[in-house]
Amino acid sequence: MQKEFFIKKREQLFEKLADDSIAVMFSSNAPLKTADEHYAFTPNRNFYYLTGLDRENFILVMKKKQGTTSSSIYIEKHDPILAKWVGDRMLADEVQSISGISDIRYVDDISKDIGSLLGGYDFENVYFDFEYRGWDRTYNEQRVFANELKSRFPSVSLKNLYHILSSMRLIKEPEEIQKMKQAISITQKGILNILDNIRPGIMEYELEAYFDFTLKSSGVKDFAFKTIAASGKNATVLHYSQNNSMMNENDLILFDLGAQFEYYNADISRTFPISGKYSQRQKDVYDVVLQAQQAVTQAAKPGVPFSILNDTAKKVLTEGCRKLGLIKEDNELSEYYYHGVSHYLGLDTHDVGTRDTVLKEGMVITNEPGLYIASEGIGIRIEDDLLISHDGAEVLSKDILKDTFDVEAYIKNR
């Protein structure tokens, strides 16, 4: 991503901030794992969206006063001793080149600088990225800093950036869509490697490893999420992730997986026959799920309420389950389909955005109906990624094998 993208996003955010305001955003830190080991660091996505920087302990400060705007980045000082152990920290020239911000300071000075700004009574509001996930969510460094600031400057009004940035992130720029297409393309290669090696008698994690190898070989640093490789009855558990069962010849295996390319994600589900051929019953159930997916693709367009997508899927699945002999009453569908058909996709796999909105051009969503029949050991989900266009929806993942005939033919001729 070029620095012009991040400059543009900051300009858009400035337009939405009240005058006489400061916005403070943290890049985040890698949490402690055990002893002196930490989990892998990943940047706060809103911070990254505005800066393009993916380093720990960075802070973005944006100031708006009487219509005049400016941005500063606070970074860690160069430490020659630490550099010998873990590598050098990002230096000012690189920070400026990536973010387009020329005012670069050190995190050691952040409290002093914010105190000077607020102590002069020049700013009335301070915005933070308050993402609330529940009452018992632990405080991060952003919340701790905000609470300390409020205790020292009680007259300042604290405001939330999260919903402002969420609305911005809903509509993808062309550069973002290109990153997601790249993530999908790499995911496709991984899926083909799975099909090249699928066979009865191996463990789910062995087949998963072929996908992992493809992604790592393609330069992918992280996955969109932990891969689900669920064979047989395991596939009726939505977020099964143990991936430690042996694959039996007559079963299906459901994969829910995705590459992450420069922090933009793919999210794909496919369900394959371990033997290389679907049974007639498996194919009948699969076709119902595929019909529901096709109906959702047709329904997805600008102006359509997000909730309509799941209603569309449920209508097709309900009729299909009647024909399959699974249900007699509509309300029985929840026994076999118990999740929504879509979520937003972008910098997060379950990306920002509410479900009580209407679709707009530039949104990217998933389309993932499924049926889960525990008594028969059948779990089928088919998921593609959709870009809402000016008059419909483009299936970004259309080239990934999906039709049962094509899947069987590929395995037979591999």
Determine the residue type at 86: V
Q: Which residues contact 195 (CB under 8 A, 6 or more apart)?
A: 272, 401, 407, 410, 411, 414
In the prediction, which pLDDT does 271 show? 98
pLDDT of residue 244: 98
Check pLDDT > 80 for residue 13.
yes
Whether 80 has a pLDDT exceeding 90, the answer reads no
**pLDDT given for residue 119 in this prediction:** 87
Residue 139 has pLDDT above 80, yes or no: no
The pLDDT of residue 14 is above 80: yes
Instruction: Determine the pLDDT at residue 157.
Output: 96
- How much is the average pLDDT of 197-203? 98
Indicate whether 402 pLDDT > 90. yes
Using one digit for the tens of pLDDT, what is the confidence trace for 203-213? 999 999 999 99
pLDDT band per the 50, 70, 90 thresholds, residue 161: very high
Give pLDDT, residue 316. Answer: 98
| Residue 247 confidence (pLDDT) | 97
What is the average pLDDT value for the chain, to the nearest integer? Answer: 96
Q: What is the mean pLDDT of residues 236-242?
A: 95
Residue 140 confidence class, pLDDT cut points 50, 70, 90: confident
Task: Name the band, by pLDDT with cuts 50, 70 and 90, for residue 26.
Answer: very high
Instruction: Give the percent of the chain with pLDDT over 90.
Output: 90
39-64 per-position pLDDT tens digit? 999 999 999 999 999 999 999 999 99
Q: Provide the whole-model pTM.
A: 0.96
Check pLDDT > 90 for residue 391. yes
pLDDT number for residue 345: 98
User: According to the 3-state scheme, what is the secondary structure of 14-65?
Assistant: HHHCCCCEEEEEECCCCCEEECCEECCCCCCHHHHHHHCCCCCCCEEEEEEE
Task: Quote the CA–CA distance of 292 and 286 in Å, as a whole number.
Answer: 10
- Provide the pLDDT confidence category of residue 302 given band limits of 50, 70 and 90: very high
Q: In the structure, what pLDDT confidence band is assigned to residue 350 with cuts at 50, 70 and 90?
A: very high
Displacement of CA 49 from its chain's centroid (Å): 13
**pLDDT of 83:** 79
Contact 371, 293 (CB under 8 A): no
> Above pLDDT 70, what percent of the chain?
99
Residue 81: per-residue pLDDT: 82
pLDDT one-digit tens code per residue, 267-278:
999 999 999 999
Per-residue pLDDT band for 78 (boundaries 50, 70, 90) equals: confident
Q: What's the length of the chain? A: 414
Please give the span between the terminal C-alpha atoms of the chain, in angstroms, as a whole number: 37
Q: What's the CA gap between 11 and 69, in Å, rounded?
A: 9
- Contact call for residues 13 and 164 (beta carbons, < 8 A): yes
